[in-house]
Amino acid sequence: MEVDSGKDPAGEPAVNHGILKESTEMICEEYERPGESEADDIKSEVNQIEEKKSNNNVTTKPVEREGNCYCGKDRNLNIVELLCASCVRWFHESCIGYQLGKLVPFMMNYFFVCKNCSPTGLESFKKNQAAFPQMCITALGNLMQASVKEGNPRRLFSKDRDIIPFIDSHWEGMTTMPRRVTQSWHSTIHRALMKDVGTLFLSEEAAGENTLTLYGLLNPELTHIKPNYEAMIRGGHLKVTDMGIQHALAGGSVKGRSAKRKFPGEQGSGGGKKGRGAEVNAPKLPAHGYPLEHPYNKDGYRYILAEPDPHAPFRQEFDESSDWAGKPIPGWLYRTLSPSSVLLALHDRAPQLRISEDRLALTGDKGYCMVRATHAVSRGTWYWEATVEEMPEGSAARLGWAQEYANLQAPLGYDKFGYSWRSRKGTRFHECRGKHYSSGYGEGDTLGFLIALPESSDIKHIPHTYKDRPLVKFKSHLYYEEKDRVAESLKDLKVLNDSKIIFYKNGVCQGVAFSDIYGGAYFPALSLHKSATVSVNFGPNFKFPPPDTQFRGMHEKAEEAICEQTMADLLYLTENEGKLRLDTFCM
């Protein structure tokens, strides 16, 4: 079947997008051949790539997974659910971290990849313009489910009393097409229903004095309503790659390896002209599971990326309720997103610093400013390395360890929350006081940073949950907003006996730089002056591991932090059992 093109008699332009045409064709094929699944077609293409990779001795994780959603629960037809184009599993809207905007259940005009299948570790989503037959199917599906929920199941509905009013009230959620000013689209809905009677829809004349035509779905099984990814692949809007199914624009620009690290925002010097709109619609893929557009920790506030907590109470009630539109979301329904690897933090840095795409190198800009790593340690002996890649004349570095409140717009060691080692003259710094420590270091040197933190009952090792903090939305993601407590933290600082920090230069121990430091959680930290570039190595393959000390590489903290954060979340939910209620929540 084909979607109407040109203009209808009422002057209403009809949809003529290839993806919608092919998508509607595939709807017909599915209803005519209910025994065949588009998942089989998609998997066959994926299997070809899997076989190709297998021949090249490349191991890959399987595309198929058992069950649905991250939470493992069954489908819920009362809420919005999205089908992953790669693993062909359904995911509840409430379990998806990406802020999807207005949607309705039983939509077919979108592309979604779950975080398990995404090469970046974050979900990707795009809502497309819907064809009118798709909007009719979505409307009928919702009307059928609403009648079941009300206890009066119906299959047939009136175009004027039911279908058109539903589309009119949910227009922005159903399509990206601007809302029509006139009502001429009503006749387009009528033609879409009539044209596909027998393929998509069925119709019956209602008994009574006034002739009334009722419409319903030819296939009443609502679980069969889904996007036609196979049609999108055929039309070139999606492509099957060795990293799974991706949007054609997202997978279209493959860069070869270069000798120098690329930083976000840098322009390539390759020849050839690009079209004016060549990359306008190309999505910005986040690096290593963190959004490229994000709020920074500054102005007295800190921002922690959040994701839905499947273990939170009243999760389903919140998902199915429409009373929360425009209201603050209870923080305990979400949880802190724990990074799966230790990298340089994108949000916990001075904005003028440039971080490489792999988040393992840093370039400075003008005056001293700082970045922290994603993970901190509060007990045990830990080690990481840094290599000075470039240090032009006049530039400098201060590297070491910092707590969460060390000033990002100052050199490391400026306040009581940081301890650093300077490249010039090898000076060590803490609380703005510089003392001679060793010879300096420069371009080409590899430096080691070891911290030893004995166990102490005065230090809280369980991480913050932030579940009692407000959630703020920024660029389709939610973040906990935490107000800085610098003054209180300064008062709470206590010396941790037998603690120490040791620095290494090209494998040679430079001696104890600091001893009996303040207790707390310490992040690997780097502060740079002017255009110096430093790369980091958090393990496990260190260039110069300390030979005479037992230690753990910072890379081990990632998995440990996930376990600690999970335990902290469960403790919070257990301690507040019975207190976390939707009807009593207020900000």
3-state secondary structure string, 127-185? ECCCCHHHHHHHHHHHHHHHHHHCCCCCCCEEHHHHHHHHHHHCHHHHCCCCCCCCCCH
| 346-401 tens-digit pLDDT | 999 999 999 998 999 999 998 999 999 999 999 999 999 999 999 999 999 999 99
Whether 241 and 197 share a structural domain: no
How much is the pLDDT for 2?
37
How much is the pLDDT for 264?
47
Alpha carbon 414 to its chain centroid, in Å, reads 34
Residue 74 in domain? yes
Helix, strand, coil percentages in the chain from 3-state DSSP, rounded to 5: 20, 25, 55
Residue 82 in domain? yes
**pLDDT for 208 beyond 50:** yes
In the structure encoding, which two tokens stand for residue 535, read together? 């790369």
CATH at residue 318: 2.60.120.920
**pLDDT for 141 beyond 90:** yes
Residue 266 in domain? no
| 152-189 tens-digit pLDDT | 999 999 999 999 999 999 999 999 888 888 888 999 99
Whether 432 and 463 share a structural domain: yes
How much is the pLDDT for 117?
86
- Respond yes or no on whether the N-terminal peptide bond of residue 165 is cis (omega within 30° of 0): no
pTM of the predicted structure, to 2 decimals: 0.63
Separation CA 58–CA 201 (nearest Å) = 46
CATH at residue 142: 3.90.980.20
How much is the pLDDT for 315?
74
* Higher-scoring residue by pLDDT: 55, 382: 382
Q: Parallel, antiparallel, or unpaired: how do β-strands 369-373 and 552-553 relate?
A: unpaired
Q: In which residue are the tokens 């991480």 written?
A: 463
Separation CA 443–CA 355 (nearest Å) = 18
How much is the pLDDT for 143?
96
Residue 154 in domain? yes
% of the chain residues with pLDDT over 70 = 78
How much is the pLDDT for 284?
44
* Higher-scoring residue by pLDDT: 9, 156: 156
Provide mean pLDDT across the span 97-118.
88
Longest dimension (CA), the chain: 100
DSSP 565: H
pLDDT band of 215, cuts 50, 70, 90: very high
| 458-514 tens-digit pLDDT | 777 889 999 999 999 888 889 999 999 999 999 999 999 999 999 999 999 999 999
How much is the pLDDT for 244?
64
**pLDDT for 216 beyond 70:** yes
User: CB within 8 A of 461, min separation 6: which ones?
Assistant: 378, 379, 564
Task: Please state the three-class secondary structure of 362-387 as a single string.
Answer: EECCCCCEEEEECCCECCEEEEEEEE
**pLDDT for 9 beyond 50:** no
Whether 411 and 457 share a structural domain: yes
Whether 83 and 109 share a structural domain: yes
User: Given 202, 220, 238, which residue is the final one in a domain?
Assistant: 220
pLDDT band of 209, cuts 50, 70, 90: low
In the structure encoding, which two tokens stand for residue 347, read together? 């949000």
Least confident of 23-37, 147-161, 348-362, 510-524: 23-37
Separation CA 94–CA 174 (nearest Å) = 18
**pLDDT for 11 beyond 90:** no
Spatial contact of 368 and 531, defined as CB atoms under 8 Å apart = no
Which residue, among 186, 138, 197, has the nearest Cα to 164 in the 3D structure? 186
How much is the pLDDT for 328?
83
Whether 488 and 551 share a structural domain: yes
% of the chain residues with pLDDT over 90 = 55
Residue 587 in domain? no
Whether 125 and 142 share a structural domain: no
In the structure encoding, which two tokens stand for residue 272, read together? 């050839």
The rounded mean pLDDT for the chain is 81
In the structure encoding, which two tokens stand for residue 484, read together? 């800085």
H and E: helices and strands count for the chain: 10, 28
**pLDDT for 22 beyond 80:** no
How much is the pLDDT for 210?
66
How much is the pLDDT for 374?
95
**pLDDT for 293 beyond 50:** yes
**pLDDT for 38 beyond 60:** no
pLDDT band of 583, cuts 50, 70, 90: low
pLDDT band of 1, cuts 50, 70, 90: very low
How much is the pLDDT for 533?
97
**pLDDT for 92 beyond 70:** yes
Provide mean pLDDT across the span 211-228.
91
- Other CB atoms within 10 Å distance of the CB of residue 329: 18
Residue 7 in domain? no
pLDDT band of 418, cuts 50, 70, 90: very high
How much is the pLDDT for 45?
46
Whether 163 and 110 share a structural domain: no
Least confident of 2-16, 301-315, 415-429, 567-581: 2-16
Helix (H, G, I), strand (E, B) or coil at 535: strand
**pLDDT for 43 beyond 60:** no
How much is the pLDDT for 19?
41
pLDDT band of 36, cuts 50, 70, 90: very low
Whether 228 and 186 share a structural domain: no
Whether 74 and 45 share a structural domain: yes
Task: List the domain range (segments joined by +) for residue 67.
Answer: 18-129+224-247
**pLDDT for 212 beyond 60:** yes
User: Given 185, 220, 255, which residue is the final one in a domain?
Assistant: 220
Residue 6 in domain? no
Which residue, among 98, 556, 97, has the nearest Cα to 341 in the 3D structure? 556
Least confident of 314-323, 419-428, 559-568: 314-323
Number of domains in the chain: 3
Beta bridge partners of 188: none
Separation CA 87–CA 71 (nearest Å) = 15
Q: Which residues of 412-429 are buried (b: 16+ CB within 10 A; e: fewer)?
A: bbbbbbbbbbbbeebbbb
**pLDDT for 226 beyond 90:** yes
Provide mean pLDDT across the span 575-585.
79
Whether 387 and 499 share a structural domain: yes
**pLDDT for 576 beyond 60:** yes
Whether 216 and 228 share a structural domain: no
Spatial contact of 78 and 320, defined as CB atoms under 8 Å apart = yes
| 235-272 tens-digit pLDDT | 777 777 666 676 665 444 333 333 444 444 444 434 44
Cα→Cα distances 415→187, 432, 502, Å: 70, 6, 19
Which residue, among 72, 68, 71, has the nearest Cα to 82 in the 3D structure? 68
Helix (H, G, I), strand (E, B) or coil at 226: coil
Whether 450 and 358 share a structural domain: yes
Residue 563 in domain? yes
Cα→Cα distances 383→195, 512, 554, 583, Å: 69, 14, 6, 48
